[in-house]
Amino acid sequence: MAIFKPPKAIRGGIPICFPQFSNHGPLEQHGFARNRFWSIDSDPPPFPTNSSNKAFIDLILKPSEEDMKIWPHSFEFRLRVTLGPGGDLMLTSRIRNTNLDGKPFTFTFAYHTYFSVSDISEVRVEGLETLDYLDNLQNKERFTEQGDAITFESEVDKIYLSTPTKIAILDHEKKRTFVIRKDGLPDAVVWNPWDKKAKAMADFGDDEYKHMLCVEAAAVEKPITLKPGEEWRGRQELSAVPSSYCSGQLDPQRVLQGS
């Protein structure tokens, strides 16, 4: 049901929310970066990532004059997309303040990752239990998660705070676990629109909420400020591992704590 027509972002995949996450600020929802065409960065400044044995592409986004009217700052946003031999996907963002007027800028950020799941009612998220979160469905009020792993039986839109660097999504029915590893991104947004909101979205099938879950590595609660010349980095790595959680062969704690 996604609509592949610019300038709106395509629903699905990993939209990049920058310079604003959601409606946490005056800009359009999720900022403008997800609605822009990026260029290939043919000669990026080197940075230490382990890209040997992996395929990668470097992309760059710089603000247009129109963007500068919305957000009056000059920046270079470099994105390296790396694919490992086992299918692991790594995204590394480097955002640099290139303002010539000496002004710092402040932003929030998220990798708005859509995961495909067999049945949302059978999915568990491990790594967020007992954490504090801001509930977008309750005026961004702060609560503390109780109990075990997160499961789903209604609409959810929460920003978990100070999360571990590793989060797992266990798909019982598909016997598959997605592992998210992140760096520089302390928060994790968990979103499923459920039936009513799904129906209200033009680019979202009425029943598609049953087969998706967004878990988004993010920096929202504490916005990031960069002075001219400063650079921020935020990394997310995704991998899928076979799991048979239901038969007890794979202990979710081992997924979280193992390498």
Among the listed ranges 22-30, 88-96, 120-128, 246-254, the one in contact with ligand G6P (CB under 6 A) is 22-30
Considering only residues 199 to 258 of the shown chain, the ones binding ligand G6P according to CB under 6 A are: 214
Catalytic site includes residue 211:
no
Q: Which is nearer to ligand G6P, 41 or 145 (CB)?
A: 145
User: What residues have CB less than 8 Å from 6, skipping those under 6 apart?
Assistant: 35, 37
Catalytic site includes residue 112:
yes
Burial degree of 153 (CB within 10 A; 0-12, 13-18, 19+): exposed
Please tell me whether 249 is known to bind a ligand. no
Check residue 123 for interaction with ligand G6P (CB under 6 A): no
Query: Do the beta carbons of residue 33 and residue 77 sit within 8 Å?
Result: yes
Q: Using CB under 6 A as the criterion, what x/- string covers residues 146-165 for binding ligand G6P?
A: -----------x--------
Check residue 189 for interaction with ligand G6P (CB under 6 A): yes
Q: How far is the CB of 29 from ligand G6P (least distance, A)?
A: 4
Pair of tokens at residue 6: 């610019």
Please tell me whether 142 is known to bind a ligand. no
d(CA 133, CA 73): 30
Check residue 36 for interaction with ligand G6P (CB under 6 A): no
Pair of tokens at residue 107: 């932003």
Q: How does DSSP assign 190-230, residue by residue?
A: EEE-HHHHHHH-TTS-TTGGGGEEEEEEEEEEEEEEE-TT-
Q: Which of 30, 73, 126, 216 is catalytic?
A: 216
Instruction: Pick from 136, 163, 177, 236 the residue near ligand G6P by CB under 6 A.
Output: 136
Q: How far is the CB of 214 from ligand G6P (least distance, A)?
A: 5
Q: How far is the CB of 167 from ligand G6P (least distance, A)?
A: 15
Burial degree of 247 (CB within 10 A; 0-12, 13-18, 19+): exposed
Q: Which of 24, 73, 112, 172 is catalytic?
A: 112
How does 34-66 read in b/e, with b if 16+ C-beta sit within 10 Å?
A: bebebeebeeeeeeeeeeeeeeeebbebebeee
Q: How far is the CB of 30 from ligand G6P (least distance, A)?
A: 5
Instruction: Pick from 16, 24, 30, 115 the residue near ligand G6P by CB under 6 A.
Output: 30
| Nearest CA among 161, 167, 165, 154 for reference residue 134 | 161
d(CA 66, CA 59): 20
Q: How far is the CB of 139 from ligand G6P (least distance, A)?
A: 12
Catalytic residues: 112, 216
Annotated binding site for substrate: 11, 29, 34
Interacting residue ranges for ligand G6P, rule: CB under 6 A: 22, 29-30, 136, 157, 189, 191, 214
